[in-house]
A and B are shown apart, each in its own frame.
Chain A
């Protein structure tokens, strides 16, 4: 087993304690405000009903889908050079989705009612009904797949079938999530049949950012401490994949921006001119969160540099979080059916409670992550006689 994983030692325990403290504090703060002020503690309104809690959920859900898609490279499509990342990717996909769902649960008006009202009423015309179905299936398949890996069964027929089912579940879940927005013809900024493609691309990009960051974190940001196979992945195909995903994300953002700016439709045009490009935060998120990481990852020497990889993953993390936020809010800032009765675009800044909810989701993610690193061998790879024994060093489970 690999004892270089710092999350298994004292550092991991410190991070775990910190994460739990932040989790408890942020959850307590959110619950106190929800109990005392209800959703009035959020800054959303009847004119702009979906705010940062929804964009945080979207961010987590899509990062999970991205991780699921990355894991499918070795597990479904046979790219065995990515085996070293697969188990951690599956685990991260599971816990990020759980964290996202926790955030969503506290955003809803009636969380527990959802548990019976959605399945018992079978409103199959609603994309949100299918979101529940597909993400529940996604969660189940991720768990099942992880359980198979944990028991050492990586390549049986049943495991491969679960892998394919999981891959399809991810595609359906994230594609359907895109259509929750993309099918809204009354919201022209979102209305786009190709939105699932955009979501797949950005999902993979945020998934790669999460995977690179958490893999490095597990080994104290020391690549030399990682198992050899993991090092090979981080210096081989993964950086190129990261560069390609960033490039395609930028392409899609550019195409949406050009289309929006060219359009005469004020419900799209003004979103770009007076909201997105008027916001220094949005411009910073595109430049620092997408363009700079892409430029760094295009350099053959820089993209294999551990420091650069960590920097790029952190920048991309932030960039795509902002991208999700501006996507969700941007679709609502133009007042609907108000004409000049509305004084201006709808103003929205997340409240402290909404920020606390985002912090809570992140703290839950870190808590589950450290627990996962402590109790499982997330760098495990399958038995492969053809490969060198040294490369297989960390394959045994620790729990």
Chain B
């Protein structure tokens, strides 16, 4: 079985948020429930001030702290599915301990106050157990893997678009959106990236493009000191998030 990994080239990323939008459309997430986001931040001050951005999906860690803290095994790492970390919505009790334990802040409890008004959950009230039911939604539903629109009271997160990548031909090294044979299996954020800053492939396959990129272009994993060992690698300058500092004004 493949071990799916993502490589994000920050020298190519323009911060356009197309990935964020595509993810939201693909997975029917609510405003603020950004399974994929691009964080914008500044570092330093004039005359060395820098404007930076960082695309941030779930890191699908090799040693995921969210999995260890979950008291019900609702959050689990599925090696058979390429090492993707899922949330089983039939088991999640909404204790939110995984959200406390994730160093990357990539988990969401959407049963919270709306980010924008009107509350889209009131506009499209939930049916069949869903928290909200928009008229157009992805027909793929798998609550055991946290795919689809979640019920109330559970935690949601990026699934590396498992509903797509799981249908890819066995043994494929990379899922490249430029390959007409594979384009339907590529995660939404990768497929939509206009500057082709994202790559998706098998980290266990020595011939994969993602491995070549990580090796040749000195790929790094973020917050490596936490020991979580992400399956998402970053290329290019400025891979990292500066420490928090309060605004002076």
A interface residues, Cβ below 8 angstroms from B:
38-40, 42-47, 49-50, 108-111, 113-114, 117-118, 121, 123, 125-129, 131-132, 180, 184-187, 266-267, 270, 274, 332, 334-345
Q: Is the Cβ of A121 less than 8 Å from the Cβ of B39?
A: no
Indicate if B215 sits at the interface (CB-CB under 8 A): no
**Nearest chain A CB to B88's CB is how many angstroms away?**
9
B interface residues, Cβ below 8 angstroms from A:
32-33, 39-43, 56, 65, 68-74, 91-97, 99-105, 107-114, 119, 152-155, 222-223, 226, 241-247
**Nearest chain B CB to A126's CB is how many angstroms away?**
4
Residue of B at shortest CB range from A270? B246
Q: Is the Cβ of B109 less than 8 Å from the Cβ of A47?
A: no
Using known A-B contacts A44-B112, A46-B109, A50-B100, determine if residue A340 contacts B41 with beta carbons closer than 8 Å.
yes
Contact of B244 among A45, A110, A131, A339 (CB under 8 A): A339
C-alpha spacing A121/B88, complex, angstroms? 12
Q: Is the Cβ of B93 less than 8 Å from the Cβ of A108?
A: yes
C-alpha spacing A44/B244, complex, angstroms? 20
Using known A-B contacts A184-B101, A341-B41, determine if residue A267 contacts B244 with beta carbons closer than 8 Å.
yes
Contact of A125 among B40, B43, B68, B247 (CB under 8 A): B68
Lowest 5 A-B CB distances belong to which pairs? A109-B94, A109-B153, A339-B41, A186-B103, A117-B72
Using known A-B contacts A126-B70, A337-B223, determine if residue A186 contacts B112 with beta carbons closer than 8 Å.
no
Q: Which residues of B contact A337 (CB under 8 A)?
A: 56, 103-105, 222-223, 241
Q: Is the Cβ of A42 less than 8 Å from the Cβ of B112?
A: yes
Task: Tell me whether chain A's interface is mostly helix, strand or loop, or mixed.
Answer: loop
Q: Is the Cβ of A128 less than 8 Å from the Cβ of B71?
A: yes
Q: Which residues of A contact B155 (CB under 8 A)?
A: 109
Q: Which residues of B contact A110 (CB under 8 A)?
A: 92-94, 153-154
A–B pairs, 9, beta carbons within 8 Å: A49-B96, A109-B155, A111-B93, A113-B91, A121-B71, A186-B102, A336-B105, A338-B241, A342-B244
Residue of A at shortest CB range from B246? A274
Q: Which residues of B contact A270 (CB under 8 A)?
A: 244-246
C-alpha spacing A102/B105, complex, angstroms? 29
15 A-B pairs besides A39-B153, A132-B71 with CB distance below 8 A are A39-B152, A40-B113, A46-B107, A46-B110, A49-B96, A109-B155, A117-B71, A118-B93, A180-B97, A187-B100, A270-B246, A337-B104, A339-B244, A340-B43, A341-B39
Contact of B226 among A39, A123, A186, A266 (CB under 8 A): A186
